[in-house]
Amino acid sequence: MNRERSIFQNKKSNTVINTPFPSGDLVPHSPIAMYTCNAKGYITQYNRAAAELWGAEPVTGAELWPAKAKLFYADGNEMSVECSPMVLALSTTIKNDTEILIENSKGERIVIAPYCSLLFDATGNITGSMNMLVNITERRKNEADAATYKAIVQSSDDAIISKTLSGVITSWNPAAERIFGYTAEEMIGETLYKIIPDDRVEEEPLILQRLQRGERIEHFETQRITKDKRLLDLSLTISPVKDNNGNIIGASKIARDITEKKNAIRRIREGEERLRMAISSTGIGTWDYNVATGDLSWSPECKAIFGISDDIKVTLDLFYQMVHPDDLEYVRTNFDSGFETGDYDVAFRFSRYSDKQLRWVKSQGKVYYKDTTPDHYIGIVLDVTEERAAKQLLENTVHERTIDLEKAKNALERTNNELEEFAYVASHDLQEPLRKIKVFADRIRIKAKDKLPEDVQADLSKIISSSEKMSVLIKDLLNYATAQPAQLVYQSIDLNAVLQSVQEDLDITITNKQATITSDKLPVIEAIPLQMNQLFYNLLNNSLKFALTGRPVAIDIRVLPPTAEELNTLHLDNTQEYCKLVFKDNGIGFSDAHAQRIFTIFQRLNNKDTYPGTGIGLALCKKVVDNHNGRIYAKGKENEGASFTVILPLHHSA
């Protein structure tokens, strides 16, 4: 007689254990899917739970496991029948209880734990297997939900706390640790009274009462104390926790720190109050136009500006009635165009409602949209009548002053023309007598050379010398008086050519003084040619004139870039380009205390008999540099030399 038996592999000893398998039908009403198959895998018996799992009732003896269902690994990849736990057990006698997914004929995927028991005949040959498929889908879902919930709790920015109905804390997440400063070890087993301020202790019993009634408490704003005694503003959401029978066994509390939010709201309210006070103190009125309803509301300050009492309803039509007729179209157009541009900015006249007085206001507004449709027009208005009157007075005054300046300018031009004519006439009229004095005195000295006493001849020499000095003085005065830029033309000038020309003019003096002149390559600038020649001539002539006796003259000209600090110190426009020229000599020098004085006309630092000159040369240099919107300054050291720094714009700006 054949006897059925099952074989299980012992995981520890790898031995085979034989157990009798009860004969008879499988339990038809078992909630666990059960079926048997023969040694080839064809289904021989199954219960209703198995049919429901597969989604169809297979034909016994004709269909292989897993009937019409599809198999998948736990990761979702499809599994072939040959790799299924039942086939592996039949072919290898090794039990494989790895979880798998079954997709039934309805398209439902079910997580199952398979259990396979092999059946043997009396000779030990496999005759089939008895199989159980335990549906663990709900269990795995619950585990996944629990893992997700745990992850949410652990990563939440809000404190999530669980407690019993007696108020004892049972869980305390990382956010609670961060917000309150207590660790989970410090708080679990404690009550929430540890973080409740004294003036809030009555809240907790009331909350527990509501929870016991099954109520959910949402957005309950309160305050709590941290470990370091800081007071926090919190928003609490508290839900009752129930067991499987629906009994309330505790509570879950979510605490959100709204301290910053509360502070921000407080700051906004304070700002709004300050704004209201500022608006009230400055007399600025505000207005709000509801685009949908056409309602126009004015603040008390706005009504005061337009002279409207509180009992009068303000409308857009009433507003337009007060606008001056000449400004009405301008105001309407700008107000209407604001719906497209989003802004409104006008200044207009109006007739005040209370006394019909004509006044000026400035009004600005901004359109706010709901989606793309204009919703509200909000703006301000300010009475600018006094400002307008002051502006008009200023414009009238400026106009009058402009006329006066034009008259003064014309008078100055006439005076300059007359002075220029006088300078030329005076120069000619003064030079002619001097020439005659010099000529006739020179003739007398030559003709009566042997007849006149020595003292008379000396007097004649003084007359001739004085007339020559007077002639030079008149020429220098004429140059100084006519060194005006207005009537002269700026040209592009190569300063190297200017230096060469001046050296040729001073050739004899340079030779007599045994002078050496060295120079960097000079720039090309826009300037008045004659005045550049005067500038170089007088600077070089000054160095040659004030040479130290017995020392050959050395003049060095350097080109350097002016620094931004230097331009600022000299009050020059640092947006322009400049060249910096430094003329340095080894002459008698001077004390730096006289550095400004030497540029004053007729000022001399030395004896005129030892060092001849009129005291005009350096004054003329300064006038030329000033005419070109440049700067000149000097430095010196007695018996060592002097340096003159000239900074000129590279380009002329009118």
Of the chain, the percentage scoring pLDDT greater than 70 comes to 85
Same domain for 437 and 363:
no
In one-letter notation, the amino acid at residue 125 is N
Residues 579-605 have pLDDT tens digits of 999 999 998 888 777 677 778 765 555
Question: 512 Cβ partners below 8 Å, 6+ apart?
Answer: none
pLDDT value at 385 more than 80 = yes
Residues 155-203 have pLDDT tens digits of 788 898 988 888 899 999 999 999 999 999 999 999 888 999 999 999 8
Residue 136 within a domain? yes
User: Per residue, what are the HEC states of 578-645?
Assistant: EEEEEEEECCCCCCHHHCCHHHCCCCCCCCCCCCCCCCCHHHHHHHHHHHCCCEEEEEEECCCEEEEE
CB distance 553 to 534 below 8 Å = no
CB distance 99 to 90 below 8 Å = no
| Structural domain that includes position 108 | 33-141
Same domain for 363 and 285:
yes
State the chain's mean pLDDT as an integer: 82
Among 440, 469, 498, give the residue marking a domain's end.
469
Task: State the Cα angle at 330 between 325 and 334, rounded to 5°.
Answer: 140
Residue 7 within a domain? no
Task: Give me the helices (H) in 21-136, please.
Answer: 48-54, 85-92
Where residue 508 falls among pLDDT bands split at 50, 70, 90?
Answer: confident
User: What is the structure's pLDDT at 519?
Assistant: 94
CB atoms within 10 A of CB 110: 19
Residues 36-72 have pLDDT tens digits of 989 888 889 888 888 888 888 888 888 877 767 788 8
Please give the residue that has the higher pLDDT: either 348 or 446.
348
Residues 270-321 have pLDDT tens digits of 777 777 776 666 778 889 999 989 999 998 889 999 999 988 999 999 999 9
Same domain for 464 and 447:
yes
Task: Provide the number of structural domains found in the chain.
Answer: 5
Give dist(CA 493, CA 424) in Å, integer. 27
pLDDT value at 205 more than 60 = yes
Q: Which helix (H) or strand (E) holds 140?
A: helix 137-155
The gap from C-alpha 390 to its chain's centroid, in whole angstroms, comes to 38
Same domain for 644 and 538:
yes
What DSSP string describes 22-37?
Answer: --S---TT-SSEEEEE
Mean pLDDT calculated for residue range 479-486: 54
Residues 228-271 have pLDDT tens digits of 999 999 999 998 988 878 888 888 899 999 988 888 888 888 77
Q: In this structure, are strands 641-649 and 16-20 parallel, antiparallel, or unpaired?
A: unpaired
Mean pLDDT calculated for residue range 461-471: 70
User: What is the structure's pLDDT at 13?
Assistant: 32
User: What is the structure's pLDDT at 24?
Assistant: 40
pLDDT value at 28 more than 70 = no
Same domain for 549 and 437:
no
Residue 414 within a domain? yes
Same domain for 496 and 442:
no
Of the chain, the percentage scoring pLDDT greater than 90 comes to 27
CB distance 60 to 44 below 8 Å = yes
CATH number where 219 lies: 3.30.450.20
Residue 523 within a domain? yes
Give dist(CA 384, CA 369) in Å, integer. 30
CB distance 182 to 255 below 8 Å = no
Same domain for 205 and 126:
no
Q: In this structure, are strands 78-79 and 248-257 parallel, antiparallel, or unpaired?
A: unpaired
